Each structure stands twice: as structure tokens, then as C-alpha cells.
Structure 1
Amino acid sequence: MAFSNEIITNSGVTFGTSGARGLVEDFKPEVCAAFAISFAHVMQQETSLDKFAVAIDNRPSSYQMAQSIAAGLDQLGIKTVYYGVIPTPALAFYAMQNNMPCIMVTGSHIPFDRNGLKFYRPEGEITKADESAILAAKVEVSSIDNLPELKICSKASDAYVLRNTEAFSSDLLSGKRIGIYEHSSAGRDIYRTIFESLGAEVISLGRSNDFVPIDTEAVSDEDKQKARDWVKEFNLNALFSTDGDGDRPLLSDENGEWLRGDVLGLLCSKMLGIEALATPVSCNTAIEKSDLFKHVERTKIGSPYVIAEFDWLSSKYKSVAGFEANGGYLLASEVEINGKTLKPLPTRDAILPAIILLSQLNQTCISKLVADLPSRYTASDRIKDFAREKSLELIENISSDPKKWLAKLEINNTLIEVDTTDGFRMLFENSTIVHLRPSGNAPELRCYVESDSELKSEQLVNTVLNAISAL
């Protein structure tokens, strides 16, 4: 017999910006059970509960982790309702509509040798205070001797399809050819159903039986070229994809150029008539420069920080939403579309912003929608296997002597403002922004550059990261 807090502390698994993350080898059955038991214990302090919703992504390790969660919850007499491989927002939406807490087994975009757990209260994502409570909970955990077989319930998948189709006409995308870069996305089959229900001709591309770690903030050159080639070869109006668990979108224009996630979020918010936004400091300043919104609240990076602003924004504005640089869209308010009500989903979602942009294809093309925005361009990339401690030390060194370090990073401009809301964000005299930040999910150092030129932004990201790698 052991206690949940001790098992978690000794596991090597830690909370990042979006749930608990760690190496697959660290997510032993007792560790998964301990997390589930601790979370259930925290929820039981507020209300009685007899069942949990659980779903997984397509990682090889995810099903066994779900079995371990079910075994742990069984120790508390709590039933596990298993919804199989579905997107995180599909699980969250269904659980919220049915007042159930839930756990999503996913490592999102990080490599397959890692995995993670995302926790949701019946009303939505857990808070940072909930994370602390989960880590502190001291509950007995018995050894896990047998893992139960889990039977799939399709209700969450069905509800997600309905949510994303019932507010739109069945011919919304009639005559449009939409490609889906399926790879190993948890929602790859659901997306086809949604787009076809809206009248589109769907072409499935790039399906993989192996897990593919797509990062929507650092799209590989290979995936950029795939998009251009597929759009041309199959005469597509657009190409859609997501990260591994379907909460971060990728949408291309008619030329196969992937949109930045914050550009997609900005355009979606414009078309939904959103009044107030919460969005992290890493998102493009075209949001403010567009003058489309009554209020824009900047936050730390991570959906919990975006969500934390929703209550007060909703008390002042009729329609509120948020999005991140990765494209994950969070709808905090009911929105009317075609005389029908679209229910809130205050957690990252990939499909809604894509549908909203694709709905404009009868009037214009996606590249024109992007071109009409203020001319601000963001590029981003990261250095992998870069320890968080090393990132923090680098940022501390730069902040203590910017002039010396900017020369090392080959940045030749006058620094006029520093923002330490999350990482180290530098604004220069020529309006260029360079933002360095340790990833909250993996041992990576991320760099975001925003300027008035796409080429300039891409070149400066490469220059800065190459200079850091050479130090």
C-alpha cells in the first residue's frame, strides 16, 4: 500500500502548461492510478460522483494508461466510461454537457516516447489550484495487478459531430474539395464525417499507423511542402489537420500555405463577432492592430491562463473567446449562427475555427482573408532536448546584460521594451519582437519572432536559435 502523493512525487511526471507530462516509462500503472485517484479525491471534496469519462489519443502507450486509470478509479468505487480514440475537445464537450469529470490520455504534439494526462472538471479545464490539490492529495493506492478491458462508448464522438454541424447548413461546403492530413490525429475519422455532413468532398491524405508528433507552432519543412504539393495535386480549396489529440488546428489556404494559429484565431473571432478576447503574449499583435475587438487581455502561455480571464470578461462583454498561438480556439460564450445557438467550449478546439473560415469560401479565398489583416508576421521554432533549467539560465543572463547578449544572438537593433509575463519578450525600435520561452510540456526552448515581413521573421528565428545552439 502506498499513498498517491508519494507515488506522483517519485514518478518523474510533472504538470506543464497543459496537464501532466512525462516519459512513457514513467507512466507506470500505479502512477496513472495515483493521478486518477488524487483527481477523483479532489472532485469528491466538492460533490459526490460515481463515474468518470476517459478517452485517448493514438499513441501506442495510451490504451494501457487508460486501463490503469480505470483500475485506479475502481478502487474508489467509481465507474469509468471509455470513449476510445477521440479528440480532447470532443471528450471535454461531452463530459461538460453531462456534468462528468474526465481525463484525456494524450501527450498532444510531443514525441511518442512521452505521454500525458489532461484533467477536466465537470465545468471545464482544471485550474492551477486544482493541479496543486492533485499533487497534495494523500490517498491510499493499492497495487495494480490486473488491467480491465475497456468497452468503447460512441456518445462523445456523436455529440461532437452534432455540435459542429447542427448550427450550419448541410450545403455549407458544397462544391468544395477539402483535404485532411490525417497522420495519427485522434480525430481523423470524425473530421471526415463533419466536413462531409457540411457538403464537402473530402480527400484523406497522409494517414499513418505510427504516431506522428505534429507541432502546429513549429511545422516542419516537410509538412509545409506536403501541403503545397497536395493542394496542387488534388485541386483542394484548403487542407486541414491537427496535432495528435485534435485541440490544435492546421489549416492551409488554397495555395497550400499553412496559416499561423493566431491568424486563424483572429479571423475566426472576427467572423463570430467576438467582442472580447483573452490570448497569450506570444500571439501576433495584428489582434490589437485590427481594431476588431472591444478588449484584448494578454496572458501567460497555456489554456488555464486564458480561461482564468473568461469570468470577468464575460461579466462585461456579450461574446468572449480566446485562442493561442498554436491555434487552439476556446469559446467562452454562446454564439448565434444562422439563427442557431453554438454552445460554449472553453477548452482548446481545432475544428470550429476551420469550419468558420471554410464557410467563407463562397465569397472569397483564404489567402485574401489573411492578406486583409494588418501586415504582421510571426515565425516560431524551437531547440529540442534543451533542458528547462538551461533555458531559464539563458533568459536570466540576457535580462542581466541585454546589450552583450543581443550581440551574441546577432540581433542588431535597439531594445525599447521587455515583457516578462511569460519568458523573455523583447520589443525593438523597428517594431520587431523576439520572444524566448522554455516549453511547458517538453525540454525545448521556443523562439517567436514577429515583424513586418514573413521572410525577416523566419530568418531571425533561425539566426537566434542557431546562435543559441552554438553557445
Structure 2
Amino acid sequence: MFGTSGIRGLYGSELDEKLALLVSNIFADNVVAVGRDIRKTGKPIAHAIFAGITSAGMDGIDIGIAPTPTVAFATKIRRIKGIMITASHNPPQYNGLKFFKDGIEIGRNAEREIEERYRRCETRLADWNKIGRLIKDDSFIAKHKDSVKSLVNIQKNKRVRVVIDSNGAGVVITPQLFREFGCDVISINDSIEGFSRPSEPNAKNLEGLSKKVIESGADFGIAHDGDADRCVIIDEHGEIVPFDVQLSIMIEHELERTRNKRIVSTIESSLIVREAVEKSGGELIVTPVGSSYVGEALERYNAIFGGEPCGEYIYQNGVHVPDGVLSAAKFLEIYLEKGRFSELKKKYKTYPIYRDKFHAQDRNGAIKRIKAQLRTEGRINEEDGVRVDEDDGWFLIRPSGTEPLIRLTMEYKDKDKLERKRAELVELIKKNL
């Protein structure tokens, strides 16, 4: 039922109102704040969730359309629980549920308990006179915005022009936040009636943003995914800052400000991310892929920052889930301190990297077959799929936690070596799907 980030699936077949009602009822042993992104299926799912919460005798707080980190923020300041209705970067036919408590995603044990009680249909029904209330409260959006402003130092001595491509729940907070920072904001894809482009903020899907940055003479562009837990930067030339470079820039920025040198990233971390940590005197703590693992490790090891090479960043002083809104503000802070991203990214030596994905209905079975047939003399890590580190590079083959996919990530210092390994690994994966 649960993947790397909550429950996610195709609406109607893998996730529907019945499931939403039952799991929310099981989850509701406290007040529950609920937000949603702009997917059309969010409204009926929200109705089911509030029925589940209130029938358990608990109050449900309706935040409305809001970013995932805003819902997590509500649970942190009120010491309550939260549910975010979103499938994040997945296509619009998907939807999902993320679960929070006290500012962080619930852990694997709590997820397993929900799954077990769901299978047993173990729900709660309060007496007629103890039914919970439905309370509308969108004030958490402004409170989250104020919290973000308190965590950055924005010098208003330069007028910065920024194009913001919210394309989802981020539209209710990020454009206004940047206006309050004194920026000249150009907002695109800012409807709340559905996505204007595919939700995943990659180079292909951000071509419109890149074009707008160039046409408007903007200093940089910002893109979110559907629930604004990701932040992607476009430089003034309309070029996306590579995810590994973007993460490295943020790691060095955070390490400059503290004596706490612990950084969390995932098994998917590239060579330049590891080099950025080492260059700044940091200690890298590695987890499986997934924001819940990163958030848990950040709290367990008291790390200053945690991030993944997809634009998801978690800060010690913020909520302990990826916060694309705070990340956007941090990148503005970096721009004002260090200048244009086109110049800043030149400081980072990148190596040839390749990412691909393959449809696999039985992704876990496919991974088992791939592991059995893999032949390598490199160092093997099987904590999340299989990662192999060699002297001049590495590769990772893992099952997606949110879609029926096998993902391949690989990086080598030599391009010819990368191509040879790519052909070998793609053949191995395809014959075992």
C-alpha cells in the first residue's frame, strides 16, 4: 500500500474514496489537518477523508489547496496530524496521500500499522454526539510564508526579476512570498483548475519557463512540482541548473553557516555531491531513496540539511519534509550573495551521467532477477535496489517507490566507459522486466 512517499496510485483503480475514507479513519486519533494540490480528483478524495476523520470523533481542519510543506508546517505548530492529497510529480490521472505528524512524515512502523488495520477493516465509529467537526482554516499558508521569511536573509538592495512556474499548489504561496521579498515576479502556469504542463519539473517540461526567462530578461526562474515539495532553478540563459549541481550549491551554502557539518542524502548521490560535502568539511549520511528516509535521518543524526538530486530539500530549522517554498527562498538568498547561477554552476565539475526508467509491472520481481544475473567486481550496496561503486564511477538500479518502474542511474568519469556500461545494463534490465 505504502511506497517511498505515502500511498499513491491511479485514481479509481489503485486509489479511490473508499480507501481514503478507511485509512483516514484509522489514522485519526488526533486532530488532522488536510490539504490538497490542484488535481481534479482532490476534491472528492478530500470529502471522503473528512468523513473518515470526523466519523472517528476527531476534528478535521480543511486547509484547502496548499503545498505539502504547508500541511507539515500545520502539524508542527499545532502538534497534530496531517494528510496531504497529492501524487506529487506524477501525471494527473494519479493521486495519493501523504501522512504527517509533528512536522515529519510518519515512519515505516506507523505505515505498517495502518496497512494491517486496513486489511482487517479495523475502523472507529464515534457515538452520534461525539462526531468530529470540519473546520476551514487557510491561515496556515500565511503562517508558513512568515516562517520561511524568518529563515532566510534577503537583502533588498537589488531588484531581482524572477519567473515563477508554480503549476500546482505552490501558486498560493511562492509568487506572493517573492513579491514580499521585493522581487519583480512574473507568474506563469498559475491556474488552480489543473496542471498547465506535466507536473514533473524536468528540462523538457520546463521549456516554457526557460523561454519566458529569456524573453523577460529575468535573473532566474523557479519551478515547483504539483505539491511544491520540489524546487528547480533555471538560470538567466534559460538553462536548467543540473539537479546534482543544484544540490551541491545548496549543500555548500548550508555548511558555510554552521559548525554542524552533517549532511543527509540518498544512495542516488552523485560524485559531485559527495565532493561538495568533502570540500566543505562535511560528513555525508546516506539513506535509501525517499524523503521520509532523509527526514528520519536528519532528525536521528541532528543533521543541518538533507537533500535528494531531484530538487527536494529538507532543512533542520524548517519542517522535516521537502520544502520547495523554503528552497526557493534559499536560492534567492544564494543569488543575492553569490551572483548569477550561470556563473555559479561553472564551479562544479560534472561527470557524464545517465538516467533512464523502464516500465515493470512486477518491479520487485524484476529487481530480484537483475540482482541474480548481475556480474561485477565493484562494491555492492543492496539497501535500496542495487548500487555498485567502481573506482571511476557507479550505477544504481532500483524499483520506483511510486510507479511501476525500474530506474537506472549511472555516472562515470569517462564518457566511453559510461556508454559501454549503459548498453550492458540496459540489456540486463530489459531482459528481466
1:255 matched to which residue of 2?
Answer: 237
Instruction: Tell me if structure 2 keeps the 8 A contact 1:381–1:461.
Output: no
1:241 and 1:320 mapped to 2: Cα distance? 24
400, 403, 416: which one aligns with 2:372 = 400
1:233 matched to which residue of 2?
Answer: 215
- The CA deviation at 1:441 is 0.5
1:128 matched to which residue of 2?
Answer: 108
1:197 matched to which residue of 2?
Answer: 180
Instruction: Tell me if structure 2 keeps the 8 A contact 1:174–1:198.
Output: no
1:242 matched to which residue of 2?
Answer: 224
Partner SS, residue 326 of structure 1: coil
Confirm whether residue 285 of structure 1 aligns to residue 271 of structure 2: yes
1:295 matched to which residue of 2?
Answer: 283
CA 359–23 in structure 1, closer or farther in 2 if over 3 Å, else same? same
Q: Deviations over 1:234-277 (max 9, x none)?
A: 11111111111110111112222222444323322321225101
Confirm whether residue 351 of structure 1 aligns to residue 325 of structure 2: yes
Calculate the TM-score normalised by the size of structure 1.
0.79
Partner SS, residue 21 of structure 2: helix
2:326 and 2:7 mapped to 1: Cα distance? 26
CA 29–353 in structure 1, closer or farther in 2 if over 3 Å, else same? closer
1:119 and 1:164 mapped to 2: Cα distance? 22
- The CA deviation at 1:344 is 2.8
CA 140–224 in structure 1, closer or farther in 2 if over 3 Å, else same? closer
CA 282–397 in structure 1, closer or farther in 2 if over 3 Å, else same? same
Partner SS, residue 388 of structure 2: strand
2:402 matched to which residue of 1?
Answer: 441
Instruction: Tell me if structure 1 keeps the 8 A contact 2:289–2:384.
Output: yes
Q: Deviations over 1:172-216 (max 9, x none)?
A: 484111101233x11123111111111111112234543344224
CA 312–230 in structure 1, closer or farther in 2 if over 3 Å, else same? same
Residues 102-117 of structure 1: pairs in structure 2 closer than 5 A: 102-117=82-97
Amino acid at match of 1:21: R
Instruction: Tell me if structure 2 keeps the 8 A contact 1:448–1:461.
Output: no
Instruction: Tell me if structure 2 keeps the 8 A contact 1:260–1:327.
Output: no
Confirm whether residue 77 of structure 1 aligns to residue 57 of structure 2: yes
Residues 215-234 of structure 1: pairs in structure 2 closer than 5 A: 215-216=200-201, 219=202, 221=204, 223-234=205-216
2:285 and 2:72 mapped to 1: Cα distance? 24
Give ranges in structure 2 of 5+ residues lacking alignment: 126-131
Confirm whether residue 156 of structure 1 aligns to residue 133 of structure 2: no
CA 311–228 in structure 1, closer or farther in 2 if over 3 Å, else same? closer
Q: Deviations over 1:31-86 (max 9, x none)?
A: 2111011112xxx4xxxx3x211010111111111111111111122111101111
Give ranges in structure 1 of 5+ residues lacking alignment: 1-13, 143-147, 333-342, 404-413
Confirm whether residue 165 of structure 1 aligns to residue 154 of structure 2: no
1:354 and 1:466 mapped to 2: Cα distance? 39
CA 173–129 in structure 1, closer or farther in 2 if over 3 Å, else same? farther
How large is the Cα RMSD of the aligned pairs? 2.9
- Please, which moves more after superposition, 254-263 or 188-197? 254-263
Partner SS, residue 100 of structure 2: strand
2:342 and 2:166 mapped to 1: Cα distance? 23
1:337 matched to which residue of 2?
Answer: none
1:461 and 1:175 mapped to 2: Cα distance? 45
2:169 and 2:419 mapped to 1: Cα distance? 30
2:25 matched to which residue of 1?
Answer: 37
CA 174–165 in structure 1, closer or farther in 2 if over 3 Å, else same? farther
Instruction: Tell me if structure 1 keeps the 8 A contact 2:103–2:321.
Output: no
379, 384, 400: which one aligns with 1:417 = 379
1:227 and 1:449 mapped to 2: Cα distance? 28
Q: Deviations over 1:358-407 (max 9, x none)?
A: 22334421122222134345442323x422x2x4444334433335xxxx
Instruction: Tell me if structure 2 keeps the 8 A contact 1:173–1:198.
Output: no
1:407 matched to which residue of 2?
Answer: none
1:115 and 1:173 mapped to 2: Cα distance? 42
2:76 and 2:138 mapped to 1: Cα distance? 16
1:279 and 1:454 mapped to 2: Cα distance? 25
1:464 and 1:30 mapped to 2: Cα distance? 41
2:40 and 2:418 mapped to 1: Cα distance? 37
Instruction: Tell me if structure 1 keeps the 8 A contact 2:370–2:428.
Output: no
42, 55, 60: which one aligns with 2:40 = 60
273, 297, 300: which one aligns with 1:309 = 297
- The CA deviation at 1:157 is 0.5
243, 268, 271: which one aligns with 2:250 = 268
CA 224–140 in structure 1, closer or farther in 2 if over 3 Å, else same? closer
Instruction: Tell me if structure 1 keeps the 8 A contact 2:34–2:82.
Output: yes
Partner SS, residue 150 of structure 2: coil
Partner SS, residue 297 of structure 1: strand
1:457 and 1:163 mapped to 2: Cα distance? 44
Partner SS, residue 84 of structure 1: strand
- The CA deviation at 1:322 is 0.7
Q: Deviations over 1:111-143 (max 9, x none)?
A: 22221110011242100000011112353367x
